[in-house]
Amino acid sequence: MSFGLLVAATGLAGLVHASSKSSDIVTCATAAATETFEIDRGSLEQPEYARFGLIFCKARTAAPPNTGVEFSSHGPLQVRFFNLTAGSGKGPTGTDPSLDPKVIAQRLGLREIEDWKSLLDEMRSSGKLTATVDGSLANGGLWIGYAASLRSDRLAKTESDIVYSAGAMEAEKLETIPLERSAGRGDKSLDMALSFVTNLLGVIAGAAISYFFFRRQQQVIAKQDELKLFRQRKLEKAEDLLRFFREVYSPLRTLEDDLQAVRNIRRALVLAGIYSMLPLEAMDRMNAICGDANPSGAARGQMLDDLLQSHFRELMVES
């Protein structure tokens, strides 16, 4: 079984850093905790993230002897509690029990633990982690440890509440435990770089898509305007066009693959001013038909006649 420590547990010893909850019987406060770290086991389908911390409870003046304190948690995290009765006996204003893994392992009767990442698994396999701990307050107060863990593909900030009660008192919220992946300077720089690149790619992709649709819209509008202009000119020259197709085109018309014949027809269209009326697409098609190469293999005369029919059908006279 292999373990990988994502973020080293730092600041293991410290004073209380959360405001305490008060009641008529006990006062509880949380003490320093480690940074969030990732436990990497080959047997787990998802990585497990964990966080350790300490709770110190002290009886108030009016509390009866050996007052019992019970802990529980509420939220998506799995928060487990374990007794640390062999603490120094000093409260939050003094020195709290050491968070050294070896010391906690010895107090819990575990084998020697070298670091936090293996301590959680050892505590779980030894049955030392329970959902609720019921401890009695001694003269020096009660120390309780907790381990908050979560299995997730990708850890975002997650929270759970620690709740405690003493005797017959109503349960009170002690603290909200956050569990989020700690990022080093390199990770933060990488995240910023990835965020910048992602935003930049989004801007570029958006600009490219906008430009594509803009160009497409301009092409459609230009084609519509060109077709509108062609129809207007055809209407204005309807009489001349009717005479051309009856008197000029009809004698020249051919359906054979005759290159010189189709070139003669094109020349007649140019001289009559009809060629310049055509839309650009029709001009290109006509020039291709009259070119030296004939990739389609169809009869040039038939293709040219079909092209003219598609644009001047109502004005052409059958030969």
Q: Tell me: the pLDDT tens digits for 159-199?
A: 899 988 887 677 888 888 888 765 555 556 777 888 889 99
pLDDT of residue 9: 32
The pairs formed by 235-240 with CB atoms below 8 angstroms and a separation of 24 or more are 237/273, 237/277, 238/315, 240/272
Tell me the three state secondary structure of residue 30. strand
**Residue 28 CB partners (closer than 8 Å, separation 6+):** 20, 21, 55, 56, 57, 58, 69, 164, 174
Rounded-to-integer distance, Cα 179 and Cα 50, Å: 8
Separation between Cα atoms, residue 144 and residue 86, nearest integer Å: 10
Alpha-helix runs per DSSP H in the chain = 101-107, 116-125, 185-236, 238-244, 250-252, 259-271, 280-289, 300-312
CA–CA separation, 7 vs 71, rounded Å?
A: 28
Q: What confidence score (pLDDT) does residue 209 get?
A: 93
Residues of the chain with pLDDT under 50: 1-22, 88-89, 91, 93, 319
Strands 26-30 and 48-59: antiparallel
Instruction: List, for residues 192-248, the tens digit of each pLDDT value.
Output: 888 889 999 999 999 999 999 999 999 889 888 888 988 898 888 888 898 898 889
Parallel, antiparallel, or unpaired for β 134-136 and 68-74? antiparallel
275 DSSP assignment: G
- 56, 95 Cβ separation under 8 angstroms: no
- In 7-133 the beta strands, taken as DSSP E runs, fall at 21-22, 26-30, 37-39, 48-59, 68-74, 78-83
Give the integer Cα–Cα distance in Å for 200 and 75: 38
pLDDT at 124: 80
Cα 96 to chain centroid distance, Å, stands at: 42
Q: For 68, phi and psi rounded to 5 degrees?
A: -90, 140
Query: Where are the chain's structural domains?
Result: 21-182, 190-315
Contact 162, 30 (CB under 8 A): yes
CA proximity to 60, closest of 172, 135, 165, 141 = 141
Q: What's residue 49's pLDDT?
A: 84
**pLDDT on residue 1:** 29
For residue 152, what is the DSSP state?
Answer: -
pTM of the predicted model over 0.85:
no
* Domain spanning 21-182: CATH 2.60.120: no
